[in-house]
Structure 1
Amino acid sequence: MELGCDHYERNCKFIVSNAPCCRRIYSCRFCHDDKEDHAINRHEVDTLICAKCSTVQSVKLECEHCGVRFGKYGCLKCRLFDNEEKGQFHCEECGICRIGGKQNYFHCEKCNICLPKNSINGHKRKPLI
């Protein structure tokens, strides 16, 4: 099995079994969306296939058979695994993973979005830091 795709370098592929048309294997949600006539909800991903040993398993950070970590960065909430360092972090308030380093962002509670810290002086709402 190849490691990743054009979108992510990772050590797993996924299967979505909640949608009836999607009992297919994809490297990521973007690969799925490129091939299907609908977008996938990443939270519906319920099964992974290890790219090293081909073990089919529930979503977790490491393979239950060979122990390989599916990505240097892994977020079980977003079903996101990536071996490339992008400063990924999960924002609990936004409910998604972002890139660019948590230390470089603040979450504005009123706007409910993460913004770059260098824009804090120009932002009209009070941030949560």
Structure 2
Amino acid sequence: MPVRLRGASQGAAVLSTACAYVGPRSRYANPFKVGDRAPSLIGPPMDAAEAVDLFAATLRGPVGRCYAARYARALRGLDLMCTCPLDVPCHADVLLRLANDFGDGNTIRTRYALEGPR
């Protein structure tokens, strides 16, 4: 079963073709950053879990589902590398589940197990 690794984009290239870099400045990067205020400008800054949940929720939306299906196909069976520490929530965990869970491929889980409209 594929796993999440910590490292930079150069590390993924060195490891093999069985590893994809999904961190900052990659096409799979989480656009929601720790410390950003979201979903509103007056809310408190997001922590890592909130940024990951917002990423997962976005992939459940009408436009996000197209990206989710594309990401699932491209990342299936690969180890995923990001710069996040391994002991904190990371969007790579969402991508791992998306690409490697068996099922219809349209279920994207968050820490609250929210399931958006299909």
TM-score range, shorter chain: under 0.3
Q: Which has the higher contact order (CA 8 A, sep 6+)?
A: 2
Instruction: Identify the structure with the greater strand proportion.
Output: 1
Query: TM-score by structure 1 length?
Result: 0.23
Larger Rg: 1
Query: TM-score by structure 2 length?
Result: 0.25
